[in-house]
């Protein structure tokens, strides 16, 4: 099959991780793409990722500055992996040039930004896929099968809580800047997508939010080990960031979530935790509950039915005999019914990004809609901002619809102003 000429737009840490994902797909003989260009406003970064591509793909793409240059080099599709501020505008530019697009989440830094993208692509026949990798984890696919198959009974309750980080920098300085996608939004859009993937639409929320650590510290700047370095690709840039800086984005969120089905959710994300790092996620129904490991951990699910019968990992499969992973996921993770996998984080991270690429290529070839498109991307940021808008207002009830239509947007107003979007955008 003829390969699809593609460009990666954004040659920082995320762009490098995406390249690693493409290399996994290449190694499996499933790569539908020919990487013809790597784009970045920093020529040195673009050249570096192009060199990485030659080492991992066996061919070197051109290094260039922007989407228009990538099109001139032959790209018919782009993968946008820049900082979140630019996602919506670059995606709009690419669609206007007639290119198919995969854009990293969030699809927009605010609802107004995402709506601006929506208006600019209205009527287009281009593919617009939002890169959301957590739901593609085989363990999360199995949770979805349990819920949809009625194994848990009637869904009643969703729980997620996590904590860690203390007063250290999480990956990058921008993740602590409100106007650049603070950590609650950066991580939260993953988690809100998971909530609705499992249990369907959320209608309303109320929450409390805090900035517990107004000063963050970066040990990499003084020769220490980075507090977090996913994929092992951020070390050099972390060393160049300040050793100490003021954070403007809140770092803890505690919310109650109401689903349209009648189920209730409890969500707590504390990125200023000074105790032991913690993680818990579970879905509870009228017949039982499933405990869900951290995304990209490779650990098995633990399912308990009627309070007494416990099933772990592959023991769950007879309860969902129709469960099947898609062909690319099955090939990469060891089978169509993979339930757990003894792989390290970096490997799982690459494999899930490979799955995203496989689906994007399939959508381009078949001209079919991606699993996560603009609508799903919008809902993920709307639910995240509903919690944050409620928290900023002291815990008032906020509906997702009111955030989607812009009726509630006070928390986002300063972000819109910072990225040049007017109140009526």
Instruction: Provide CATH code, domain 4-133+368-373.
Output: 3.40.50.720
Place of tokens 């080990």: 225
Give the percent of the chain with pLDDT over 70: 99
Averaged pLDDT for residues 343-352:
95
CA distances from 382 to 56, 191, 334 (A): 37, 12, 35
Task: State the pLDDT at residue 1.
Answer: 73
Average model confidence (pLDDT) across the chain? 96
Averaged pLDDT for residues 318-330:
97
- 193-250 pLDDT tens trace: 999 999 999 999 999 999 999 999 999 999 999 999 998 999 999 999 999 999 999 9
CA distance 214 to 123: 44
Sorting pLDDT into bands at 50, 70 and 90, what band is 45? very high
Q: List the chain domain ranges.
A: 4-133+368-373, 135-342
Indicate whether 179 pLDDT > 60. yes
- Coil, helix or strand for 187? helix
Indicate whether 342 pLDDT > 90. no
CA distance 205 to 315: 35
- CATH fold of the domain at 135-342: Dihydrodipicolinate Reductase; domain 2 (3.30.360)
Averaged pLDDT for residues 30-46:
98
Task: State the pLDDT at residue 340.
Answer: 82
Averaged pLDDT for residues 167-185:
97
Q: Closest Cα partner for 47 from 34, 66, 60? A: 60
Task: State the pLDDT at residue 422.
Answer: 76
Cα dihedral sign, 142-145-150-156: positive
- 182-201 pLDDT tens trace: 999 999 999 999 999 999 99
Task: State the pLDDT at residue 424.
Answer: 44
Sorting pLDDT into bands at 50, 70 and 90, what band is 350? very high
Sorting pLDDT into bands at 50, 70 and 90, what band is 140? very high
Q: Which residues lie below 8 Å from residue 331, measured CB to CB, with a gap of 6+? A: 28, 30
Q: Closest Cα partner for 103 from 313, 360, 348? A: 360
Task: State the pLDDT at residue 2.
Answer: 93
CA distance 211 to 124: 41
- 370-395 pLDDT tens trace: 999 999 999 999 999 999 999 999 99
CA distance 251 to 27: 39
Q: How far is CA 76 from the centre of its chain?
A: 24
CB atoms within 10 A of CB 225: 10
Phi then psi for residue 406, to 5 deg, are 85, 0
């Amino acid at each position: 099959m003829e390969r699809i000429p593609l460009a990666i737009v954004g040659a920082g840490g995320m762009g490098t991780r995406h390249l690693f994902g493409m290399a996994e797909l290449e190694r499996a003989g499933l790569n539908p793409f020919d990487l013809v260009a790597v784009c970045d406003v920093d020529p040195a970064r673009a050249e570096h990722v192009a060199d990485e591509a030659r080492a991992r793909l066996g061919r070197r793409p051109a290094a260039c500055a922007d989407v228009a240059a990538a099109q001139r080099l032959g790209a018919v599709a782009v993968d946008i992996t820049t900082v979140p501020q630019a996602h919506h505008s670059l995606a709009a530019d690419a669609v206007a040039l007639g290119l198919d697009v995969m854009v990293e989440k969030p699809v927009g830094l605010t609802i107004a930004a995402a709506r601006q993208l929506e208006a600019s692509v209205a009527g287009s026949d281009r593919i617009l896929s939002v890169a959301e990798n957590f739901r593609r984890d085989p363990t999360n696919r199995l949770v979805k099968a349990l819920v949809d198959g009625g194994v848990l009974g009637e869904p009643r309750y969703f729980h997620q809580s996590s904590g860690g980080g203390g007063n250290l920098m999480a990956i990058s300085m921008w993740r602590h800047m409100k106007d650049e996608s603070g950590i609650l939004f950066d991580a939260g859009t993953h988690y809100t997508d998971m909530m609705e993937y499992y249990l369907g639409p959320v209608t309303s929320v109320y929450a409390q939010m805090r900035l517990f650590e107004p000063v963050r510290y970066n040990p990499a700047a003084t020769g220490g080990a980075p507090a977090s370095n996913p994929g092992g690709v951020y070390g050099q840039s972390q060393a160049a960031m300040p050793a100490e800086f003021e954070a403007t984005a809140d770092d803890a969120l505690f919310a109650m979530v109401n689903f349209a089905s009648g189920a209730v959710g409890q969500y707590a994300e504390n990125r200023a935790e000074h105790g032991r790092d913690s993680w818990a996620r579970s879905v509870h129904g009228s017949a039982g509950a499933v405990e869900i490991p951290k995304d990209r951990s490779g650990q098995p699910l633990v399912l308990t039915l009627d309070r007494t019968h416990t099933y772990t990992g592959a023991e769950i499969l007879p309860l969902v005999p129709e469960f099947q992973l898609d062909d690319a996921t099955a090939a990469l993770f060891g089978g169509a019914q993979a339930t757990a996998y003894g792989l390290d984080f970096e490997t799982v991270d690459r494999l899930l990004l490979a799955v995203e690429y496989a689906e994007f290529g399939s959508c381009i070839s078949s001209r079919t809609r991606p699993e996560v498109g603009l609508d799903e991307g919008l809902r993920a940021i709307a639910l995240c901002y509903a919690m944050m808008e409620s928290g900023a207002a002291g815990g008032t009830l906020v509906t997702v619809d009111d955030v989607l239509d812009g009726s509630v947007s006070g928390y986002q107003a300063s972000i819109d102003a910072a990225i040049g979007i007017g109140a009526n955008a």
